[in-house]
Structure 1
Amino acid sequence: MSIETLKKYLPENTLPFLKNWFGPYFIHIKITRERNSKLGDYRKLRDNSHEITINSTLEPQLFFFVLTHELAHMLSFEKFGHRIAPHGSEWKQTFRNMLVESISIYHQDLQKIILEFAKSPKANFMASPDLVRYFRLKDNAGGHVFVEELEPHNEFIYNKQRYILIEKLKKNYLCRNLDNGKTYSFRGLASVQKLNP
């Protein structure tokens, strides 16, 4: 896929950054269906080209953020060699520099969150509560909320099963499955469909 073809997935004015980062490398970019386990990934192919996959359902700013994350893998491996840790200090420095360089691409209310994240980039998007909250706000329109926004005794649906919030633990939330009676611990940033007001 060419950089030009990527335009429909990206915010405006990203192409100069991508052309600079792509440089002389041959990169296969595959747009995939939504995957719950990951937003994107990177791997080097046997012919020394590179492959990046990204979920097609990501909104443009998140798509660009994930693409930047994956390109940081490629650039750090190319610069420092393939013996470095995938999310080690070399990748963090590369990703940090790319985020700061392209900060103007992001909406103003997101720039502060990105710059804070860039101080110590995390390997997993879900490890940054501020980013998760920012990019999941649109879910609220369909009745989706974070578990941390629920009150005790609120009922909700998660993975097509009904639950009730019992109480907040130290970091997580204790909930009972109303279909099988078992209790489960939920992360505060789990996205669920609220059932009762």
Structure 2
Amino acid sequence: MSITNLEKYLPENTLPFLKTWFGEHYIHIKITKARNSKLGDYRKMPDKSHQITINSTLQPQLFFFVLTHELAHLLAFENFGNRISPHGSEWKNTFRTMLLESISIYSEDLKPIILKFSKAPKANFMSSPDLVKYFHIENYEDETSYIEDLETEDRFIYRKQTYIIEGKRKKNYICLNIDNGKRYIFKPLARVEKLS
């Protein structure tokens, strides 16, 4: 999908930002039906292109915000390499810079919320009560996360068992099962329910 085909989903005056961020990258943008598990998604494809999916039901400002979040993954990986954490400091700094660059896109009542969020960008949209309230996303429930999006010592539930992340071995995660005291290895894209 070309950038201009995205216009109907976006607020006005976003194309100059997107053209700069897209640069020479080959990006497949897929507009999906509403998903209860996520608003958007980024993947690097085997052929070195990039795929971003975004829910079609999002309001224009939220659509742009989610697209910015996903593009920040692409730019962080391209600038800092594939070994960085998906929502680590490199991604946070990239996302922060992009939000501040494009702050003019957002309405006056949303700008303070975006500025506050940009000070410490969160991986999960639902972690920002101000944004959730602004966009009235009460029905959105993100019950699962990829284990690679969690931090060391985070607790999570997998198949009704509680675990804590102890560390990383190469690409996989070593996790202690709180219920039986045994250690297990989890792949980065294992879907788990994070405990707060």
Question: What TM-score do the two structures reach when normalised by structure 1?
Answer: 0.69
Q: Give runs of aligned pairs for residues 29-40 of structure 1, distance below 5 A.
A: 29-40=29-40
CA apart distance, 1:125: 0.2
Residue of structure 2 in register with 1:81 after alignment: 81
Higher RCO by CA contacts (8 Å cutoff, separation 6 or greater):
2
Question: C-alpha displacement at 1:68, in angstroms?
Answer: 0.1
In structure 2, runs of 5+ residues without a counterpart are: 140-196
1:1-31 deviations in Å (ceiling 9; x for gaps):
0000000000000000000000010000000
CA offsets, 1:81-131, max 9 Å, x none?
Answer: 000000000000000000000000000000000000000000000000000
Q: CA offsets per residue over residues 25-60 of structure 1, 9 Å max, x none?
A: 000000000001100000000110000000000000
Which residue of structure 2 lines up, in the alignment, with residue 44 of structure 1?
44
In structure 1, C-alpha distance between the alignment counterparts of 2:82 and 2:43, rounded to whole Å: 11
Q: How many pairs were matched up? A: 139
Q: Match for residue 27 of structure 1?
A: 27
Aligned-partner SS, 2:25: coil
Question: Structure 2: how far apart are the matches of 1:46 and 1:38?
Answer: 23
1:113, 1:10 → 2: CA distance? 19
Distance 1:101 1:59 in 2: 20
Percent identity for Structure 1 against Structure 2: 75
The Cα of 1:77 is off from its aligned counterpart by 0.2
Partner of 1:108: 108
**Which runs of 4 or more aligned residues in structure 1 lie more than 3 Å from their structure 2 counterparts after TM superposition?**
none
TM-score between the two structures when normalised by the length of structure 2:
0.70
The 5 Å alignment of 1:1-197 reads 1-136=1-136
Partner secondary structure for residue 41 of structure 2 = strand
SS in 1 for 2:136: helix
Gaps of at least 5 residues in structure 1 are: 145-197
User: Hey, what's the Cα distance between the residues in 1 that align with 2:115 and 2:100?
Assistant: 7
Q: CA RMSD in A?
A: 1.2
For 1:147, the equivalent position in structure 2 comes to: none
| Distance (whole Å) between structure 2 residues aligned to residue 104 and residue 36 of structure 1 | 29
SS of aligned partner of 2:120: coil
Matched residues in 2 for 1:43 and 1:77: separation?
11
Which structure is higher in helix share? 1
State the one-letter code of the partner of 2:50.
Answer: H
Which of 1 and 2 has greater Rg?
1
